[in-house]
Amino acid sequence: MRHRISDWDDAYANGPNIPGGDRWPDLWVGPAREYRHALEEAGHAKLDLRYGDGARNRMDLFLPATEPAGLVVFIHGGFWLRLDKSYWSHLARGAVELGYAVAIPSYTLCPEIRIGGITLEVANAIERAAELVAGPIRLIGHSAGGHLATRIITVTSPLPEEVRSRIVHTVSLSGLHDLRPLMHTAMNRQLNIDRQEAWRESPALLEPMQAARLTCWVGGAERSEFLRQNALLANIWKGLGAETEVVEEPDRHHFNVIDGLADPHHPLTQTLLS
Protein backbone atom coordinates (compact mmCIF):
# COMPACT_ATOMS: atom_id res chain seq x y z
CA MET A 1 0.00 0.00 0.00
CA ARG A 2 1.45 3.33 -1.06
CA HIS A 3 1.52 6.20 1.37
CA ARG A 4 3.15 9.60 1.23
CA ILE A 5 3.03 12.22 3.99
CA SER A 6 1.73 15.54 2.71
CA ASP A 7 0.76 17.18 6.02
CA TRP A 8 3.75 17.01 8.36
CA ASP A 9 2.04 19.06 11.05
CA ASP A 10 -0.81 16.57 11.28
CA ALA A 11 1.62 13.64 11.19
CA TYR A 12 3.13 14.82 14.48
CA ALA A 13 -0.02 16.29 16.06
CA ASN A 14 -1.04 14.20 19.06
CA GLY A 15 -3.71 16.14 20.96
CA PRO A 16 -6.07 16.79 18.01
CA ASN A 17 -5.93 13.11 17.01
CA ILE A 18 -6.68 11.64 20.46
CA PRO A 19 -10.27 11.65 21.80
CA GLY A 20 -10.25 14.09 24.71
CA GLY A 21 -6.65 14.93 23.93
CA ASP A 22 -7.09 18.48 25.20
CA ARG A 23 -7.16 17.08 28.77
CA TRP A 24 -3.37 16.73 28.63
CA PRO A 25 -0.99 17.97 29.94
CA ASP A 26 -3.25 19.39 32.70
CA LEU A 27 -4.29 15.86 33.65
CA TRP A 28 -0.78 15.22 34.98
CA VAL A 29 -0.56 18.30 37.21
CA GLY A 30 -2.58 17.07 40.22
CA PRO A 31 -1.08 13.58 40.57
CA ALA A 32 2.42 14.98 40.11
CA ARG A 33 1.91 17.65 42.78
CA GLU A 34 0.41 15.20 45.27
CA TYR A 35 3.24 12.69 44.88
CA ARG A 36 5.90 15.37 45.07
CA HIS A 37 4.45 16.81 48.27
CA ALA A 38 4.02 13.38 49.84
CA LEU A 39 7.66 12.46 49.29
CA GLU A 40 8.85 15.87 50.43
CA GLU A 41 6.92 15.53 53.70
CA ALA A 42 8.40 12.05 54.19
CA GLY A 43 11.90 13.44 53.69
CA HIS A 44 12.40 11.45 50.47
CA ALA A 45 12.51 14.32 47.97
CA LYS A 46 15.17 16.87 47.13
CA LEU A 47 13.54 19.55 45.01
CA ASP A 48 14.93 22.22 42.68
CA LEU A 49 18.50 20.99 42.79
CA ARG A 50 20.68 23.12 40.53
CA TYR A 51 22.77 21.40 37.87
CA GLY A 52 23.71 24.40 35.69
CA ASP A 53 23.57 28.16 35.35
CA GLY A 54 20.32 28.45 33.37
CA ALA A 55 17.07 29.46 35.05
CA ARG A 56 15.54 26.07 34.18
CA ASN A 57 18.64 24.05 35.04
CA ARG A 58 17.03 22.41 38.04
CA MET A 59 15.94 18.91 38.85
CA ASP A 60 13.91 17.03 41.43
CA LEU A 61 15.31 13.89 43.03
CA PHE A 62 12.98 11.31 44.57
CA LEU A 63 14.47 8.75 46.93
CA PRO A 64 13.35 5.35 48.24
CA ALA A 65 13.13 4.60 51.95
CA THR A 66 16.33 2.54 51.78
CA GLU A 67 19.72 2.97 50.11
CA PRO A 68 19.01 3.36 46.36
CA ALA A 69 19.64 0.33 44.18
CA GLY A 70 20.55 2.72 41.39
CA LEU A 71 19.46 5.84 39.53
CA VAL A 72 16.68 6.43 37.01
CA VAL A 73 16.62 9.70 35.06
CA PHE A 74 13.31 10.66 33.45
CA ILE A 75 13.59 13.22 30.62
CA HIS A 76 10.34 14.95 29.75
CA GLY A 77 8.93 15.77 26.33
CA GLY A 78 6.91 18.61 24.87
CA PHE A 79 8.65 18.91 21.47
CA TRP A 80 11.57 20.73 23.14
CA LEU A 81 9.19 23.70 23.35
CA ARG A 82 7.09 23.35 26.51
CA LEU A 83 6.53 21.76 29.92
CA ASP A 84 8.92 21.22 32.83
CA LYS A 85 9.76 18.75 35.59
CA SER A 86 6.66 19.55 37.66
CA TYR A 87 4.29 17.60 35.37
CA TRP A 88 5.89 14.20 35.85
CA SER A 89 6.72 13.65 39.53
CA HIS A 90 4.17 10.84 39.98
CA LEU A 91 5.90 8.81 37.28
CA ALA A 92 8.77 8.24 39.70
CA ARG A 93 6.51 6.13 41.92
CA GLY A 94 7.08 2.76 40.27
CA ALA A 95 10.87 2.90 40.37
CA VAL A 96 11.00 4.51 43.83
CA GLU A 97 8.81 1.80 45.33
CA LEU A 98 11.21 -0.76 43.88
CA GLY A 99 14.17 0.90 45.57
CA TYR A 100 15.54 3.26 42.94
CA ALA A 101 16.21 6.99 43.08
CA VAL A 102 14.57 8.98 40.28
CA ALA A 103 15.82 12.32 38.96
CA ILE A 104 13.54 14.51 36.82
CA PRO A 105 15.22 17.58 35.31
CA SER A 106 13.85 20.62 33.54
CA TYR A 107 15.86 22.19 30.72
CA THR A 108 15.90 25.39 28.69
CA LEU A 109 13.29 25.38 25.92
CA CYS A 110 13.45 26.34 22.26
CA PRO A 111 13.66 28.91 20.74
CA GLU A 112 15.79 30.27 23.59
CA ILE A 113 18.18 27.41 22.90
CA ARG A 114 18.94 24.99 20.07
CA ILE A 115 18.28 21.27 20.46
CA GLY A 116 22.01 20.67 20.62
CA GLY A 117 22.15 22.96 23.63
CA ILE A 118 19.40 20.97 25.33
CA THR A 119 21.48 17.82 24.80
CA LEU A 120 24.32 19.45 26.73
CA GLU A 121 22.00 20.53 29.55
CA VAL A 122 20.49 17.06 29.92
CA ALA A 123 23.98 15.58 30.05
CA ASN A 124 24.84 18.03 32.82
CA ALA A 125 21.71 17.00 34.73
CA ILE A 126 22.55 13.30 34.41
CA GLU A 127 26.11 13.92 35.53
CA ARG A 128 24.91 15.86 38.58
CA ALA A 129 22.37 13.17 39.51
CA ALA A 130 25.09 10.53 39.11
CA GLU A 131 27.19 12.41 41.69
CA LEU A 132 24.34 12.18 44.18
CA VAL A 133 23.30 8.55 43.62
CA ALA A 134 25.64 5.58 43.23
CA GLY A 135 25.06 2.46 41.21
CA PRO A 136 23.77 1.66 37.72
CA ILE A 137 21.97 4.35 35.73
CA ARG A 138 18.83 3.89 33.64
CA LEU A 139 17.53 6.59 31.31
CA ILE A 140 13.95 7.00 30.15
CA GLY A 141 12.54 9.79 28.05
CA HIS A 142 9.13 10.52 26.55
CA SER A 143 8.63 11.98 23.05
CA ALA A 144 11.29 14.72 22.71
CA GLY A 145 12.67 13.26 25.93
CA GLY A 146 13.04 9.95 24.11
CA HIS A 147 15.21 11.76 21.59
CA LEU A 148 17.34 13.25 24.37
CA ALA A 149 17.71 9.96 26.23
CA THR A 150 18.92 8.13 23.12
CA ARG A 151 21.10 11.02 21.95
CA ILE A 152 22.92 10.74 25.30
CA ILE A 153 23.97 7.14 24.60
CA THR A 154 25.54 7.77 21.19
CA VAL A 155 29.27 7.77 20.51
CA THR A 156 29.19 11.58 20.46
CA SER A 157 27.55 11.79 23.89
CA PRO A 158 28.68 14.79 25.95
CA LEU A 159 28.68 12.64 29.09
CA PRO A 160 32.04 11.81 30.64
CA GLU A 161 33.08 8.18 30.26
CA GLU A 162 32.77 7.41 33.98
CA VAL A 163 29.06 8.28 33.81
CA ARG A 164 28.41 6.68 30.42
CA SER A 165 29.87 3.42 31.67
CA ARG A 166 27.23 3.27 34.40
CA ILE A 167 24.27 3.43 31.98
CA VAL A 168 22.85 -0.08 31.71
CA HIS A 169 19.52 0.51 29.95
CA THR A 170 17.76 3.29 28.05
CA VAL A 171 14.03 3.34 27.29
CA SER A 172 12.66 5.70 24.66
CA LEU A 173 8.91 6.21 25.00
CA SER A 174 7.37 7.43 21.74
CA GLY A 175 10.75 8.94 20.92
CA LEU A 176 11.72 11.17 18.01
CA HIS A 177 14.93 9.70 16.70
CA ASP A 178 15.28 11.28 13.26
CA LEU A 179 14.88 15.06 13.37
CA ARG A 180 14.80 15.60 9.62
CA PRO A 181 11.00 15.22 9.24
CA LEU A 182 10.49 17.89 11.91
CA MET A 183 12.11 20.40 9.57
CA HIS A 184 8.89 20.28 7.50
CA THR A 185 6.61 21.28 10.40
CA ALA A 186 5.42 24.74 11.41
CA MET A 187 6.98 24.27 14.86
CA ASN A 188 10.40 24.35 13.23
CA ARG A 189 10.09 28.12 13.14
CA GLN A 190 10.80 27.84 16.88
CA LEU A 191 12.97 24.72 16.87
CA ASN A 192 15.28 26.05 14.14
CA ILE A 193 16.42 22.59 13.07
CA ASP A 194 18.60 22.75 9.97
CA ARG A 195 20.25 19.88 8.10
CA GLN A 196 23.50 20.25 10.00
CA GLU A 197 21.79 20.01 13.39
CA ALA A 198 19.54 17.18 12.23
CA TRP A 199 22.57 15.10 11.26
CA ARG A 200 24.43 16.02 14.44
CA GLU A 201 21.55 15.46 16.90
CA SER A 202 19.47 12.62 15.41
CA PRO A 203 20.19 9.33 17.20
CA ALA A 204 19.10 7.42 14.09
CA LEU A 205 21.93 9.08 12.17
CA LEU A 206 24.51 8.37 14.87
CA GLU A 207 26.12 5.25 16.27
CA PRO A 208 25.27 3.88 19.72
CA MET A 209 27.89 3.82 22.42
CA GLN A 210 29.53 0.48 23.10
CA ALA A 211 27.33 -2.07 24.90
CA ALA A 212 24.22 0.11 24.55
CA ARG A 213 20.96 -1.52 25.54
CA LEU A 214 17.85 0.16 24.15
CA THR A 215 14.12 -0.45 24.42
CA CYS A 216 11.90 1.56 22.07
CA TRP A 217 8.37 1.60 23.51
CA VAL A 218 5.34 3.18 21.90
CA GLY A 219 1.56 3.08 22.21
CA GLY A 220 -0.17 0.93 19.62
CA ALA A 221 -2.75 3.68 19.04
CA GLU A 222 -0.20 6.42 18.31
CA ARG A 223 0.29 8.38 15.11
CA SER A 224 1.98 6.36 12.40
CA GLU A 225 5.04 8.63 12.47
CA PHE A 226 5.66 7.79 16.14
CA LEU A 227 5.28 4.09 15.38
CA ARG A 228 7.74 4.46 12.51
CA GLN A 229 10.25 6.47 14.52
CA ASN A 230 10.01 3.94 17.35
CA ALA A 231 10.87 0.97 15.15
CA LEU A 232 13.44 2.93 13.16
CA LEU A 233 16.06 3.44 15.84
CA ALA A 234 15.88 -0.08 17.24
CA ASN A 235 16.28 -1.47 13.73
CA ILE A 236 19.28 0.72 12.85
CA TRP A 237 21.09 0.32 16.16
CA LYS A 238 20.63 -3.44 16.17
CA GLY A 239 22.73 -3.47 13.02
CA LEU A 240 25.36 -1.38 14.79
CA GLY A 241 25.83 -3.76 17.70
CA ALA A 242 23.34 -2.47 20.27
CA GLU A 243 20.94 -4.75 22.15
CA THR A 244 17.50 -3.51 21.13
CA GLU A 245 13.84 -4.31 21.66
CA VAL A 246 10.66 -2.83 20.19
CA VAL A 247 7.39 -2.76 22.15
CA GLU A 248 4.03 -1.50 20.89
CA GLU A 249 1.76 -1.42 23.93
CA PRO A 250 -1.84 -2.13 22.89
CA ASP A 251 -4.57 0.47 23.43
CA ARG A 252 -2.14 3.22 24.48
CA HIS A 253 -1.80 6.62 22.88
CA HIS A 254 0.91 9.26 23.09
CA PHE A 255 -0.21 10.66 26.43
CA ASN A 256 -1.20 7.60 28.45
CA VAL A 257 1.68 5.40 27.29
CA ILE A 258 3.72 6.82 30.17
CA ASP A 259 1.20 5.90 32.89
CA GLY A 260 2.80 2.53 33.59
CA LEU A 261 5.78 4.23 35.22
CA ALA A 262 3.62 5.08 38.22
CA ASP A 263 3.01 1.37 38.88
CA PRO A 264 5.89 -0.78 40.16
CA HIS A 265 4.22 -3.89 38.69
CA HIS A 266 3.53 -2.52 35.20
CA PRO A 267 5.53 -4.10 32.35
CA LEU A 268 6.99 -0.69 31.46
CA THR A 269 8.50 -0.21 34.92
CA GLN A 270 9.61 -3.83 35.05
CA THR A 271 11.27 -3.51 31.64
CA LEU A 272 13.04 -0.28 32.57
CA LEU A 273 14.51 -1.84 35.70
CA SER A 274 15.37 -5.18 34.13
The answer to whether residues 202 and 179 touch, using CB atoms and an 8 Å cutoff, is: yes
pLDDT at 16: 85
pLDDT at 130: 98
pTM of the prediction? 0.96
Per-residue pLDDT of the chain (274 residues; tens, 9 = 90+): 667 887 898 889 888 888 887 888 889 999 999 999 999 999 999 999 999 999 999 999 999 999 999 999 999 999 999 999 999 999 999 999 999 999 999 999 999 999 999 999 999 999 999 999 999 999 999 999 999 999 999 999 999 999 999 999 999 999 999 999 999 999 999 999 999 999 999 999 999 999 999 999 999 999 999 999 999 999 999 999 999 999 999 999 999 999 999 999 999 999 999 9
The answer to whether residues 188 and 182 touch, using CB atoms and an 8 Å cutoff, is: yes
Whole-angstrom Cα distance, residue 93 to residue 35? Answer: 8
Closest to 80 measured CA to CA, from 208, 217, 188: 188
Write down the architecture of domain 8-273 according to CATH. 3-Layer(aba) Sandwich (3.40)
**Complete DSSP assignment for 114-131:** -HHHHHHHHHHHHHHHHH
Closest to 131 measured CA to CA, from 55, 66, 209, 49: 49
pLDDT at 134: 98
Instruction: Give Cα separations from 201 to 59, 110, 176, 219 (angstroms).
Output: 23, 15, 11, 24
